[in-house]
Structure 1
Amino acid sequence: MSLTTDPRAARGLAVTAAVLAATTALTSCGVVRDLTGDREDPDTENVDEPREEEVEADFPYTREGPIFLDTGQDVETTFSVTGLERTDDHMVLHYETTIRAPLRGSNTTLGLPPILVDPVSGVTAGPLQDGSDAPYGSVPPRSDGLFPVETDATNVHRLYFPRFSDDVTELTYVGSGLGAMTGLPIQDVDEERSDPEDPNGADMGGDAGDPAPEAGDVIEFENRRPDGDQVEMVGGLESFVDSETTSTTRDGDTETVALKADVMFEFDEAELTGEAEEVVREAAASVGNNIDPDQREITVIGHTDGKGADDYNETLSEERAETVREVLEEELGGDFTFELEGRGADEPVAEEGGSDDEEARARNRRVEFEYPVDPADIDGQSAERDEDVLGSSDRNVFPPADFIEEADAEIVATETYEDVQLDVHPLVRDGAYVISTVSLTNTSDDPVTPDLTGEDGVLPGAPADFTDGTLGGFQLLEPDSDLARYITYFQFGEGSMGPFADEVHEMQPGNSYQLIAVFSAPPSEVGDMTLRAGPFGEIEGVPFSN
């Protein structure tokens, strides 16, 4: 009987289950998800910054290693990207997968769903789907929608994505279950590769009477091209950078600066301290540097914690927002439009009432101001620190990273937690982001699911929206500043977001798994960082490989 993998098994991934719930087939081909939302799509055709005109292609780009399977068999797999084409209408990802050990039954890959990322602008795209959420590309040959797999047989696939701008020359891919594949060059073509002339996958589907694949076989499947009715899934990356006085969230086309009220104001007061006025003036410089010049609208919002009467909290939050607005307007001049709101305790960012109640309430006491930014505009986004703006709001953009094979990933530090060994690899600057790669090894004789999100895993009072997932407690710290960078999130619409980090599942004895967590990039003068690795502690001096 042929071995199969079910592309539609209902198992949640690292991305928010309610909206981005998806599982991939062992071949990463059977993706089912709904990434649509009512948020306006970022403009992928408006990246003005010139980029390298041509990038040398050296396909295939290959990764190897064990991947998490829902059955716990966690088979060693070879995944190769054999082409990344851009036509006038869409992107086409060509890839091959080969499992290297026997499997039993139907298996589903666990991990990040297939997503292409422009690391410079932060624009992201999921596979093109039809109205029933089925992706365009290779078609499962079995009547029950399964793909056949066999040890050392190679499955050949393709998958379609929304088109990226002509100015984008390299993309990062996640979804193989083997980390982030950076520096994949785009091939501009008049027509994509022709469909397989004689797809033999239909003859190896595993239905009654069908032959099973054998080792050494190359299996090709029928291809379904987009027919004009496809649903495009385009989004952005949301970053969060924290400091002792402020934090900044950049969510595609909106940037939000939060001023921590305990630093800005005396208890129950609405007047800024002298030190706080200087912070707000730096924040005003950040607004002037980052705001979309065609949309000069700023909303200032006051927030309190959950203590006290609702009416009192709303009044105090509005008074504090008014104080901040006055300083911003004084610094920015009359070319901006301001809106003012006091929301009291209605929108906490940290959960109150737990063991970290004091820290959570302090996080919730804040004044925010939000303003529009152009996610495709990277002019003026320096890779060097700007001393005149808030460090948390300083966006640093580098070239896309080269492709890195797993064999090139040296180990720079090792820590242990219970029965799990953590090996830390060098950091990689990829456009406006940093990829932190770690390897987790089960050193015991039994399967282990490490608890990385307990009290030792997440800092007290940390914002709930940026600590989801089993790597949610991971952060990058700059050694010579107070800035802490939280894991970046995918954002595909209102309520549809999830961490740009791998989820840790049950680890099999002796197996090592490479996992990634992605953060916003620090300036070029930062040569190494401290990795705050949840229960593994803080690991200092993690260098960059580029």
Structure 2
Amino acid sequence: MVRPKSSLALLASGSLLLAGCSVGGDDEPPPVEEDYPYVREGRIFQDTGNDDEMRFAITGMERTADYTVMYYEVNYPDGFEGANRNLSMPHTLVDPLSGRVWREYTDAQALKYGSVSPNEDGLYPVHDGVTNEYRRYFPPIPEDVEQVTMIGSGLGAMTGIPIQDVDEEQPDPENPNGPQHLSLDDPPDEDSLTFENRPPDDGAEADVGWVESYVDSEVASVTREGDVETIALHSDVTFEFDESDLTDDAEDVVRDVAQTLRNSVDPVEPVITVIGHTDGIGSDSYNQTLSEERASTVRGVLEDELEDEFEYEVEGRGSTEPIAVEGGPDDEEARARNRRVEFSYKVSTETPAEEEESDDGLGVAERTVHWPAPYTDDPGDVVATAEDDGVRLDVYPLRRDGAYVIGTVTLTNTTDTPVIPDLGGDAARSGGPTQFSSGSLGGFQLLDPETELVRYVSQLTLENGRSTPFAEDVHQLQPDNTYEVVAVFPGPPMDVEELTMRAGVFGELEEIPIEN
């Protein structure tokens, strides 16, 4: 069989790519038990506003030499009317340990491989009391990954889904009856609808990528994408305006960064790239020169501190790569964020010796990986509630899932008219990266009141350059309806038992517990 085209180079590395951490602390990993089906029920967003209760059940997750195949069933316990399209994000599988991401194979018309739409438009007939059976194809997930988290049903994150190793996938459905019952006036006699199966052919494409995380403090921030980590020192603690010489305090911070780099950089590729940036004030040529001078100054301190342990590359990028939008109401703070020096490197897979926690904000580079969260369809008890403009927000305990924590909330429209809640990034921390404040849950962050570290909603960054929040989109809320949505954040250290949730227009909700 010819394997479909998909850039699978990202799959070659090991499953644990997070620096400065070990999996699960001293705990033993939970047993991986196959207990199919894994079922979620809840209200989903539809493009027509006919938001019905849906039952979504994963009945199998098989790994062959060529693909990963997901089998699932969908039905609507309360009935379903008309032609609707689920507005959930594409089905996405995530390895919560490494942060690798896989999406379904699609063809040139963006139609999914697997169960074939009898209308050839991606839509399927739905009848009351009848279960639709589907299968979808994903790239072959590496053998060291035993469990994945699935998002994209519209019903939150389904954690701890085990992968079954098989020589061959399940046979195609015999005599699929879906095409014979396209009309609502022609319901089937059977309890289920099945459809023809179309495996990926030569030229099929699948999105592969990584979870990208962002942790911020007053001193520094860290962005992590795959096995590449970037520490950014904010300019207000490194340089005076229009200067390339470090302040005395800033030099101490850079020396602290050197210790972090010593513990984190991959010894196989011991290259540290020091990158200087400026804000948008001044000419392009002037900013280019200033950014290069700042990067060279910082490199000198690193060389003095680390001696010949690493190789260095120096780059100046002027004002060409801003992380915050200038010219808005927070212009001064945005410009300060853009005037920065970054350290980019490939992370080590080794676990460094434990070191004392510092209070200088460089804890942003600390990584903690727990075991994958076991499957559950119970978010727990409500631990905080807030209301804004006719929408009630209920917050449930955070759950650790590998290197991340899953934040689960429900939104209830308490009015008698449809409402689109304001959950964007307007209330986010000023000056943060625009991409991490975008999307319908962009105004949400997790704050550790002890360290003042801020954890933003993670991003799914795909090979084609597209980036999307690791969260379900929120659409129009129908009257008296309740919707469960999730957002995924980089996980804090294991000794952190609760965090404050910054919930955009709903304000700050304190003491949200974390379940391990």
TM over 0.5: yes
Query: Any conservation in 2 of the 1:44–1:123 contact (CA below 8 Å)?
Result: no
1:531 to 494, 498, 501: 501
2:151 to 174, 192, 205: 174
Q: Deviations over 1:109-136 (max 9, x none)?
A: 1122100000000011001234443322
What does residue 88 of structure 2 align with?
Answer: 111
Decide which moves more: 176-185 or 121-130.
Answer: 121-130
Q: Deviations over 1:313-355 (max 9, x none)?
A: 2232222111111112223332422221222222211111111
The letter for the 2-side match of 1:46 is G
Distance 1:226 1:479 in 2: 49
Establish whether residue 99 from structure 1 lines up as the match of residue 72 from structure 2: no
Distance 1:72 1:270 in 2: 56
Distance 2:164 2:6 in 1: 27
Establish whether residue 281 from structure 1 lines up as the match of residue 255 from structure 2: yes
Written as runs of structure 1 = structure 2, the 5 A alignment for 1:221-370 is 221-370=195-344
Instruction: Compute the displacement of 1:149 (Å).
Output: 0.5
Q: Deviations over 1:389-442 (max 9, x none)?
A: 931111111100011213x42100000111100000000100001110110000
The letter for the 2-side match of 1:296 is P
Distance 1:430 1:247 in 2: 22
Instruction: Compute the displacement of 1:289 (Å).
Output: 2.4
Distance 1:531 1:438 in 2: 11
Written as runs of structure 1 = structure 2, the 5 A alignment for 1:311-460 is 311-373=285-347, 377=349, 379-380=350-351, 387=357, 390-406=362-378, 408-453=379-424, 455=426, 457-460=427-430
Q: Deviations over 1:483-529 (max 9, x none)?
A: 10111000112531111012111000011111111111110010000
Distance 1:340 1:502 in 2: 39
What does residue 519 of structure 1 align with?
Answer: 489
What does residue 90 of structure 1 align with?
Answer: 67
Distance 1:83 1:52 in 2: 22
Query: Any conservation in 2 of the 1:45–1:164 contact (CA below 8 Å)?
Result: no
Query: Any conservation in 1 of the 2:413–2:477 contact (CA below 8 Å)?
Result: yes
Query: Any conservation in 2 of the 1:242–1:484 contact (CA below 8 Å)?
Result: yes
Distance 2:267 2:299 in 1: 19
1:316 to 1:400, Cα distance in 2 relative to 1, 3 A: same
Q: Deviations over 1:437-487 (max 9, x none)?
A: 1100000010000122274x3332221121111110111111210210111
Query: Any conservation in 2 of the 1:203–1:211 contact (CA below 8 Å)?
Result: no
Written as runs of structure 1 = structure 2, the 5 A alignment for 1:483-522 is 483-493=453-463, 495-522=465-492
Distance 1:211 1:66 in 2: 25
What does residue 20 of structure 2 align with?
Answer: none
The letter for the 1-side match of 2:55 is T
Gaps of 5+ in 1: 1-34
Written as runs of structure 1 = structure 2, the 5 A alignment for 1:134-153 is 134-142=111-119, 144-153=121-130
Distance 2:381 2:9 in 1: 38
Decide which moves more: 272-281 or 232-241.
Answer: 272-281
What does residue 165 of structure 1 align with?
Answer: 142
Distance 1:506 1:276 in 2: 47
Query: Any conservation in 1 of the 2:15–2:97 contact (CA below 8 Å)?
Result: no
Q: Secondary structure at the match of 1:79?
A: strand
Decide which moves more: 297-306 or 334-343.
Answer: 334-343
Q: Secondary structure at the match of 2:10?
A: coil
Q: Give the aligned CA root-mean-square deviation in angstroms.
A: 2.4
The letter for the 2-side match of 1:465 is Q
Instruction: Compute the displacement of 1:269 (Å).
Output: 2.5
Count, aligned residues = 501
Q: Secondary structure at the match of 2:288?
A: helix
1:44 to 1:115, Cα distance in 2 relative to 1, 3 A: farther
Query: Any conservation in 2 of the 1:386–1:394 contact (CA below 8 Å)?
Result: no
Query: Any conservation in 2 of the 1:381–1:396 contact (CA below 8 Å)?
Result: no
Distance 2:407 2:260 in 1: 27
1:43 to 8, 11, 23: 11
Distance 1:409 1:199 in 2: 40
Distance 1:45 1:462 in 2: 30
Q: Secondary structure at the match of 2:88?
A: coil
Query: Any conservation in 1 of the 2:29–2:371 contact (CA below 8 Å)?
Result: no
**Identical columns (%):** 51
Instruction: Compute the displacement of 1:196 (Å).
Output: 1.5
Query: Any conservation in 2 of the 1:350–1:360 contact (CA below 8 Å)?
Result: yes
1:215 to 1:460, Cα distance in 2 relative to 1, 3 A: farther
Distance 2:263 2:115 in 1: 45
Distance 1:291 1:253 in 2: 10
Give the TM-score taking structure 1 as reference length.
Answer: 0.86
Query: Any conservation in 1 of the 2:161–2:375 contact (CA below 8 Å)?
Result: yes
Query: Any conservation in 2 of the 1:153–1:215 contact (CA below 8 Å)?
Result: no
Instruction: Compute the displacement of 1:229 (Å).
Output: 4.2
Query: Any conservation in 2 of the 1:36–1:492 contact (CA below 8 Å)?
Result: no
Distance 1:294 1:217 in 2: 57
Distance 1:436 1:48 in 2: 23
1:479 to 1:214, Cα distance in 2 relative to 1, 3 A: farther
Decide which moves more: 111-120 or 272-281.
Answer: 272-281
Distance 2:16 2:412 in 1: 44
1:47 to 1:452, Cα distance in 2 relative to 1, 3 A: closer
Distance 2:425 2:468 in 1: 19
What does residue 13 of structure 1 align with?
Answer: none
Instruction: Compute the displacement of 1:386 (Å).
Output: 5.9
Distance 2:129 2:78 in 1: 8
Establish whether residue 219 from structure 1 lines up as the match of residue 193 from structure 2: yes
Q: Deviations over 1:174-230 (max 9, x none)?
A: 010000000111111222222212221122133xxx963359721111112234543
Distance 2:222 2:237 in 1: 16
The letter for the 2-side match of 1:444 is T
The letter for the 2-side match of 1:478 is D
Distance 1:92 1:53 in 2: 24
Instruction: Compute the displacement of 1:36 (Å).
Output: 7.2
Instruction: Compute the displacement of 1:88 (Å).
Output: 2.1
What does residue 3 of structure 1 align with?
Answer: none
Instruction: Compute the displacement of 1:537 (Å).
Output: 0.6
Distance 1:73 1:61 in 2: 25
Query: Any conservation in 2 of the 1:240–1:485 contact (CA below 8 Å)?
Result: yes
1:494 to 1:190, Cα distance in 2 relative to 1, 3 A: closer
Decide which moves more: 439-448 or 40-49.
Answer: 40-49
Q: Secondary structure at the match of 1:256?
A: strand
Instruction: Compute the displacement of 1:68 (Å).
Output: 0.4
